[in-house]
Amino acid sequence: MKKNLDLKIYWVITIWPKWQIMIPKEARNDIWFEIGEEYVVSIFDEKWFWLWKANKTLEKLKTILNVEIVSTTKLNSKNQFVIPVSIRDRLKLKPWDNVITVWKSNGWLWFIKNNEIEYLLEYIKLNFN
Protein backbone atom coordinates (compact mmCIF):
# COMPACT_ATOMS: atom_id res chain seq x y z
CA MET A 1 0.00 0.00 0.00
CA LYS A 2 1.38 3.39 -0.95
CA LYS A 3 1.73 6.12 1.66
CA ASN A 4 0.14 9.49 1.19
CA LEU A 5 2.89 11.93 0.20
CA ASP A 6 1.27 14.81 1.97
CA LEU A 7 3.69 17.13 0.16
CA LYS A 8 3.15 20.19 -1.96
CA ILE A 9 5.83 21.43 -4.31
CA TYR A 10 5.62 25.14 -5.00
CA TRP A 11 7.40 27.55 -7.27
CA VAL A 12 11.09 27.72 -7.82
CA ILE A 13 12.20 30.89 -6.05
CA THR A 14 15.35 32.95 -6.28
CA ILE A 15 17.80 33.79 -3.51
CA TRP A 16 18.24 37.57 -3.53
CA PRO A 17 21.63 39.32 -3.18
CA LYS A 18 21.05 40.12 0.52
CA TRP A 19 20.39 36.40 1.12
CA GLN A 20 16.68 36.89 1.49
CA ILE A 21 14.23 34.34 0.26
CA MET A 22 10.49 34.88 -0.04
CA ILE A 23 7.94 32.28 0.86
CA PRO A 24 5.84 31.76 -2.29
CA LYS A 25 2.41 33.37 -2.18
CA GLU A 26 0.75 30.04 -2.90
CA ALA A 27 2.42 28.47 0.14
CA ARG A 28 1.32 31.17 2.57
CA ASN A 29 -2.22 29.78 2.65
CA ASP A 30 -0.98 26.35 3.74
CA ILE A 31 1.63 27.26 6.32
CA TRP A 32 1.18 28.45 9.86
CA PHE A 33 4.20 30.77 9.87
CA GLU A 34 3.69 34.15 11.49
CA ILE A 35 5.36 37.47 10.77
CA GLY A 36 8.01 38.30 13.39
CA GLU A 37 8.16 34.77 14.84
CA GLU A 38 11.49 32.99 15.19
CA TYR A 39 12.01 29.82 13.18
CA VAL A 40 14.65 27.13 13.31
CA VAL A 41 16.69 26.46 10.20
CA SER A 42 17.98 22.89 9.86
CA ILE A 43 20.11 21.07 7.34
CA PHE A 44 19.12 17.63 6.15
CA ASP A 45 21.44 15.36 4.24
CA GLU A 46 23.65 18.29 3.16
CA LYS A 47 21.18 18.82 0.31
CA TRP A 48 18.35 20.95 1.63
CA PHE A 49 17.36 23.16 4.49
CA TRP A 50 14.17 23.30 6.51
CA LEU A 51 12.35 26.11 8.22
CA TRP A 52 10.23 25.15 11.23
CA LYS A 53 8.80 26.70 14.36
CA ALA A 54 10.94 26.54 17.50
CA ASN A 55 9.23 24.77 20.41
CA LYS A 56 9.79 22.46 23.36
CA THR A 57 9.93 19.30 21.26
CA LEU A 58 12.88 20.58 19.28
CA GLU A 59 15.53 18.32 20.81
CA LYS A 60 13.30 15.25 20.52
CA LEU A 61 12.58 15.97 16.86
CA LYS A 62 16.25 16.64 16.23
CA THR A 63 17.10 13.12 17.46
CA ILE A 64 14.24 11.34 15.71
CA LEU A 65 14.74 13.05 12.36
CA ASN A 66 18.54 13.07 12.40
CA VAL A 67 18.69 16.73 11.39
CA GLU A 68 21.19 19.31 12.41
CA ILE A 69 19.78 22.48 13.88
CA VAL A 70 21.98 25.21 12.53
CA SER A 71 20.44 28.57 13.27
CA THR A 72 17.29 30.61 13.65
CA THR A 73 15.72 33.31 11.51
CA LYS A 74 12.64 35.54 11.61
CA LEU A 75 9.96 36.03 9.02
CA ASN A 76 9.61 39.71 8.06
CA SER A 77 6.47 41.60 7.02
CA LYS A 78 7.10 40.76 3.35
CA ASN A 79 7.12 37.01 4.08
CA GLN A 80 10.87 36.89 3.61
CA PHE A 81 13.64 35.55 5.78
CA VAL A 82 17.41 35.73 5.60
CA ILE A 83 19.22 32.45 5.01
CA PRO A 84 21.79 32.10 7.83
CA VAL A 85 25.44 32.22 6.75
CA SER A 86 26.13 28.70 8.05
CA ILE A 87 23.41 27.30 5.76
CA ARG A 88 24.65 29.32 2.79
CA ASP A 89 28.22 28.12 3.27
CA ARG A 90 27.45 24.45 3.83
CA LEU A 91 25.01 24.15 0.96
CA LYS A 92 27.12 26.38 -1.29
CA LEU A 93 24.22 28.73 -1.95
CA LYS A 94 24.84 31.89 -3.92
CA PRO A 95 22.76 34.95 -4.76
CA TRP A 96 20.53 34.28 -7.76
CA ASP A 97 20.51 30.52 -7.12
CA ASN A 98 17.05 29.03 -7.47
CA VAL A 99 15.48 26.76 -4.88
CA ILE A 100 12.40 24.58 -4.99
CA THR A 101 9.96 25.10 -2.15
CA VAL A 102 8.33 21.98 -0.69
CA TRP A 103 5.74 21.99 2.08
CA LYS A 104 5.03 19.01 4.31
CA SER A 105 1.70 18.92 6.15
CA ASN A 106 3.53 18.68 9.48
CA GLY A 107 4.39 22.36 9.04
CA TRP A 108 7.91 22.13 7.70
CA LEU A 109 8.93 24.18 4.74
CA TRP A 110 11.83 22.66 2.80
CA PHE A 111 14.10 24.37 0.31
CA ILE A 112 16.33 22.49 -2.11
CA LYS A 113 18.45 23.84 -4.95
CA ASN A 114 16.76 23.18 -8.26
CA ASN A 115 19.86 21.37 -9.55
CA GLU A 116 19.14 18.78 -6.83
CA ILE A 117 15.74 17.87 -8.25
CA GLU A 118 16.87 14.29 -8.87
CA TYR A 119 17.75 13.95 -5.18
CA LEU A 120 14.32 15.27 -4.21
CA LEU A 121 12.55 12.83 -6.50
CA GLU A 122 14.65 9.93 -5.22
CA TYR A 123 13.90 10.95 -1.61
CA ILE A 124 10.18 10.96 -2.38
CA LYS A 125 10.40 7.59 -4.10
CA LEU A 126 12.32 5.95 -1.24
CA ASN A 127 10.34 7.43 1.64
CA PHE A 128 6.81 7.45 0.36
CA ASN A 129 6.38 4.17 -1.53
Taking Cα atoms as reference points, which of 107, 27, 122, 33 lies closest to residue 73? 33
- Whether pTM > 0.75 for this model: the answer is yes
20 backbone φψ class: left, alpha, beta (φ>0; ψ -120 to 50) = beta
Predicted local confidence at residue 19, as pLDDT: 93
Q: Pick 7-127's CATH classification: 3.30.1490.20, 3.40.1550.20, 3.40.50.150, 3.40.50.2020.
A: 3.40.1550.20
pLDDT tens for 20-56 read 999 888 887 777 778 888 888 888 888 888 888 766 5
Element (H, E) at 40: strand 38-44
| Residue ranges for the chain with pLDDT beneath 50 | 1
**So what's the pLDDT on residue 114?**
86
Q: Are strands 38-44 and 7-14 parallel, antiparallel or unpaired?
A: unpaired
Q: What is the pLDDT of residue 1?
A: 45
pLDDT for res 80: 92
Residue 76: the pLDDT is 93
pLDDT of residue 28: 78
Q: Given this model, what pLDDT does residue 65 score?
A: 59
Dihedral Cα 12, 48, 84, 100, nearest 10 deg = 0
CA distance 98 to 12: 6
Enumerate residues 6+ apart whose C-beta is below 8 A from 82.
Answer: 18, 19, 20, 21, 73
